[in-house]
Structure 1
Amino acid sequence: MRLFVALNPPTEVLRALGEAVDRGRSHGRPLRWTHSDDWHITLVFLGEVEEERLPVLTEAIGAAARTQRPLSLAVEGWGRFPPRGRRSSVLWAGVTGDLDALDALARGMRRAARSVRIPVERRPYVPHLTVARSRPPSDLAEVVEDLGELRGARWRARDVHLIESRPGSADRYRTVQTWALGWEADSERPPELDTP
């Protein structure tokens, strides 16, 4: 199973992002635009995981999720990978809000994977939603300009999802399991954590 852990923005946030992306689609540059069903904020990519390892993995992820709190997030701004130079292969929408807590959540998910001997990348975490790919890499500056300003509504991310990626399938992503972030489920959490 090819797996990753992610946050899924709500429908209204994805709809607003779709409207913004439509402006870029009209640009003449040949890009592979991703579908809104593919838009998520990856916390950690796990790669191929044997199905028999799923119970220990889900236990570790669930324990990590319970240590974190819900996050106030928004989709805002555009970026590219690689970020420097004139040629990029990925165009993405950025994420703002509780970024320190989001980074801690991503680190917690990486630790959970490593604790059950699933190797994960150690590069710095950059939260984003991939909206297009360029093959071969190209200068995406004009596309970013055509996309214009991106300022999305805030939402409260309350759950993390373990997702199976199934390339070539009609249902490309399948949610394997979902966990509420711990402080949301804890009735004794401080009330100020409920405010966005």
Structure 2
Amino acid sequence: MRLFVALTPPAAVVDAVLGAREPGLRHTPDLHWTRPDGWHLTLAFLGEVPDDLLPGLTGALGAAVGEHDPFDLTVDGWGVFPHPHRDRAAVLWAGVGGDTGALAALSADLRAAASAAGLPGEDRIYVPHLTVARSRPPRDLTGLLSELGNGPQAPWPARDVHLVESRPGREDRYRTARTWALGWKTDPGRPPERSTA
């Protein structure tokens, strides 16, 4: 299974990003604009996970999530990868603000849990974002960024973390395999795992 761990944006965030990207759709319609039902904030990319590692991995990830209390984020502004090269950008993204310290700590602990469970370590610098569009080949997105303006802004309460299976080529590309409540270890009223049905 090809897996990653992520936060899913609430409806208010999705609506804010959809509204803010409208000028971009008119300005640069030939970009590959991603579908809102696939938007997610990746916390840890796990890659292909062998079946024999899944039980230990899910236990370690769930335990790591339980150690972190819920926190509040915002979706805030636009950016591109590779940063800061607007003239040869491959990805347009919506940025994330708010309690980014708590977000970075959660991401680091999830990466460490995955590594301890036997997966290769991920050493990329963590840049939280929602991928809104892609360009292949990379191109100058300076005009698009100017047209988009300051970008979306909306509150994002982070309460649950999802283990997501990526299934490229399928209509339902992303399938939630597990959902854990942030802070379940310190709040007895929060069940550790939520149903994905």
Alpha-carbon separation, structure 2, partners of 1:84 and 1:20: 21
1:47 aligns with 2:47: yes
Residue range with higher mean Cα deviation, 18-27 or 157-166: 18-27
Q: Once the two structures are superposed, what CA deviation does each residue of 1:79-115 show, in whole Å capped at 9, x if it has no partner?
A: 0100133211011000000001100000011001000
Q: Which residue of 2 aligns with 1:62?
A: 62
Superposition TM-score, scaled by structure 1 size: 0.91
CA distance in 1, matches of 2:186, 2:176: 20
Aligned partners of 1:65, 1:107: CA distance in 2, in Å? 11
> Is the contact made by 2:16 and 2:152 (CA closer than 8 Å) also made in structure 1?
no
Contact 1:158 1:184 in 2 (8 A): no
1:157 partnered with 2:151: no
Deviations 1:50-87 (A, max 9, x none): 12321111000001001111110111010010013321
Counterpart position of 1:126: 127
Q: What's the CA shift for 1:155?
A: 2.5
Q: CA RMSD in A?
A: 1.8
| Kept in 1: contact 2:164–2:174 (CA 8 A) | yes
Q: Deviations over 1:155-190 (max 9, x none)?
A: 3110100000001111110000000011686159xx
Structure 1 counterpart SS, 2:60: helix
Distance in structure 1 (CA, Å) of the matches to 2:33 and 2:12 = 19
Is 2:67–2:186's contact at 8 Å kept on the other side of the alignment? no
Q: What fraction of aligned residue pairs are identical, expressed as a percent?
A: 55
Contact 2:14 2:36 in 1 (8 A): yes
Question: For residues 155 and 63 of structure 1, what CA distance do their matches in structure 2 show?
Answer: 23
**Residue of structure 2 in register with 1:106 after alignment:** 107
Count residues with an aligned counterpart: 189
Distance change >3 Å, CA 143–CA 184, structure 1 → 2: farther
Change (3 A) 1:49 1:8: same
Asked whether the 8 Å contact 1:70–1:184 carries over to 2, the reply is no
CA distance in 1, matches of 2:180, 2:156: 17
